[in-house]
Amino acid sequence: MACQPTNLHFVLFPLMAQGHMIPMVDMARLLAERGSMVTIVASPVNANRFRSVIDRAIEAKLKIQILELQLPLAEVGLPEGCENFDLLPSPAHGVNMILAMNMLEEPAEKMVRGLCPSPSCIISDGGFPWTNDIAKRLKIPRIVFYGPGCFPLLCIHIATNTGILDEVDSDSKYFVMRGLPDRIEVTKPQASTWGKGDSKESTTVHERMQEADKEAIGIVVNSFEELEPKYVEELAKAKDKKVWCIGPVSLSNKSFQDRAERGNKGAINGHDCLKWLDSRESGSVIYVCLGSLSYASTEQAIELRLGLESSNIPFLWFIRQTSEEFEEWLSKEGYEERIKGRGLMVRGWAPQILILSHPAIGGFVTHCGWNSTLEGISSGIPMVTWPQFADQFLNERFIVDVLKIGVKIGMEVPVLFTQRDESKEIIKRDGVKEAVQALMKNDEEGEARRKRCRELGVKAKRAMEEAEGGSSHRNITSMIQAVTEELSSQQN
Q: For the segment 78-103, what is each residue's pLDDT rounded down to a tens digit?
A: 999 999 988 888 878 888 998 999 99
Question: Span 429-447, mean pLDDT?
Answer: 94
Please answer whether residues 377 and 457 qualify as being in contact, where contact means their C-beta atoms are separated by less than 8 angstroms. Answer: yes
More reliable by pLDDT, 324 or 356: 356
Task: Compute the mean pLDDT over every residue in the chain, rounded to the nearest whole number.
Answer: 89
Which CATH code for domain 9-252+467-491? 3.40.50.2000
Ramachandran bin of 74, using left for φ above 0, alpha for ψ from -120 to 50, beta for the remaining angles: alpha
The pLDDT value recorded for residue 418 is 62
pLDDT tens digits, 60-73: 999 999 999 999 99
Confidence tier at 1 by pLDDT (50, 70, 90): very low
Return the CATH architecture of domain 261-460: 3-Layer(aba) Sandwich (3.40)
Determine how many CB atoms are found less than 10 A away from the CB of residue 466: 11
Residues forming a β-bridge with 289:
318, 366
- Residue 448's nearest CA partner among 393, 407, 411 is 407
Report the C-alpha dihedral over residues 484, 215, 188, 434, rounded to 10 degrees.
Answer: 20
The pLDDT value recorded for residue 4 is 47
Interacting residues of 476 by C-beta distance below 8 A, sequence separation 6+: 30, 31, 34, 244, 246
The Cα–Cα gap between 157 and 88 comes to 28
Residues forming a β-bridge with 384:
365, 407
pLDDT tens digits, 277-311: 999 999 999 999 987 656 677 788 889 888 998 99
Helix (H) or strand (E) holding 102: helix 94-102
Domain ranges across the chain = 9-252+467-491, 261-460
pLDDT tens digits, 175-215: 999 999 999 999 998 988 776 655 676 677 788 888 999 99
Kindly report whether the peptide bond that precedes residue 414 is cis, defined as omega within 30 degrees of 0: no
Domains 9-252+467-491 and 261-460 share a fold: yes
Helix (H, G, I), strand (E, B) or coil at 295: coil
Interacting residues of 334 by C-beta distance below 8 A, sequence separation 6+: none
Confidence tier at 486 by pLDDT (50, 70, 90): very high
Question: Span 332-338, mean pLDDT?
Answer: 82
For residue 274, pLDDT over 70 is answered with yes
Give the whole-number percent of the chain exceeding pLDDT 70: 91
Question: Span 452-475, mean pLDDT?
Answer: 93
Confidence tier at 2 by pLDDT (50, 70, 90): very low
Please answer whether residues 385 and 408 qualify as being in contact, where contact means their C-beta atoms are separated by less than 8 angstroms. Answer: yes
